[in-house]
Structure 1
Amino acid sequence: MNKAKSVFIVLFLLLINLSLLHVATMSWHSPLGAGWMGVFVLALPNFYLFVWMFMRRRARTSRNLHLLMATNLMGIALVLTDPGMEANPWPLVIGNLLFFGSIAYIFWYSHLGDRSNAMLNEGEKLPMFELTTLEGNVFTSEQFKGSAWLLIFYRGNWCPLCMTQIGEVAGRYIDLDRLGVKVALISPQPEHKTLELAKRFDVPMQFFVDADFKASKKLNLVHANGVPFGLKSLGHGEDTALPTVLMINKHGRIVYSDQTSNYRVRPQPEQFLEVARQKLASQEG
């Protein structure tokens, strides 16, 4: 199923871009009929959604993207009411592909499945696992003890929402530091990719590589075939980690856990900052 998703997202993005290009080319020569106008109304908001995510304004969207769904319905209505449908069925074909592709993206592709991982619930001790530092040294989860930590498991440099989320945390680093919280950013992506990312942020956050998915396997965070098809040629693997945010106190006990079931729905920084204010000073292991 995940393999199908990795291929789907690439084909859907290609369909959106080709549809807009085709409609733009046609509009130079003659006015658009209702069918092609409907294709435009379907493609443009979907295109904007992905552009908006890559612009890194916010690390989250609404779960069901109601505004996008409304424009999808408007677009498919225009396609279905095109009087020239019988003479030229292509607007109907492309319109349906865009409409059902968008629905699949919202309700199927974005969904990460059941994330009920009891070992990462609030109040649990952080399980033992190993990470690798950017210097190539082994770092165990036991070494987190003695300080409070915000642990962010992210998918990789290729994921715009992950990059935005890291940027948000970097922007609140002073607030976290004042509360005694250190930041660890963890990804199974290749070491050189993580090193590239670490150089972007002039903030003392610690970057770790989850080499061979040792930590992700231990914590049940492996997202098999979670990387979009084709990115392997750019140095990424096929598998990744499920986006997860944990906060632990100095005793290694989890005081905050976000195991999102939708990759577009990420916690606001204020959520874990409030947890740090309320729990870290009072909660003991």
Structure 2
Amino acid sequence: MNIFKKLSIRAALGLISSEHRELVRLLRANKIMSAGFDTKYGHIAIPVNSRSIIESFLAGEYFGSVALQSFLNHKTKSRRLLNIGANVGTSARMIACSEKYQKIYCFEPDPNNFRLLQANFLNNNAVSLHNVAVGAENGQLSLNLNPLSVGRHSFKTDFGLGAIDVSIVRLDDFIADNEPFDLFMDVEGWEIEVLRGATSSMRNCNLFALEWNGQLHSREERLAMIELVRSAGFTKMSDLNTSEHDLEIDDLEKLSGQRDVVFLRK
């Protein structure tokens, strides 16, 4: 790619915040599906319709770094991490570079995201990649696509823009031993189904972090989430982006927006 085209693409990416839809269409029409960024954690390829990630990188910030660093600051005995809803691997890359875990397992059902995930972890034997979703039952489900944000595909919300069938696995079937692990999850309101398929294995989970989207859940679902978290043995909850480190698990019932939280044991 010549220097003029590189500069043109970067200028276009810089306008994403104001003209996102049209720029995504323009870049895709020119067969530009992803953009590469040199970050403090190495080179990362990002889909052009990953607005929030691109805005962060263009601003010289690493996407999600505050929540990720807060998560990494928590002590744990686990040497392996499960990253469910790994997308293209931005979170997993920062976690892997911390060398806190000997093994990271990434789960990402969308095949396009998964191809970039593979590229971003090429020849990295410490990261194991799985092109599947995680849920309550093994099988197949339709994943609703959000082409304007590849990190917002959803099993719960139908955007009216198509869907693909993806494979589902249960954590209780994937984790066959009693070795402790930590869990980092971003699944757009699907977290209850993930936990329903992990009632046995979650007893070995020391740290459990997720992006909570309370607006995607009914009150009954929020109460079900509270019960699942408590039954797994977690007793405390902290916000990963603020100083609110003393939230109660019962606060999930009233957290209606998006929050990055971590669940802790005593």
- TM (norm. structure 1) is 0.31
Structure number with greater CO (CA < 8 Å, separation at least 6) is 1
Determine which structure has more spread, i.e. the larger CA radius of gyration: 1
- TM (norm. structure 2) is 0.33
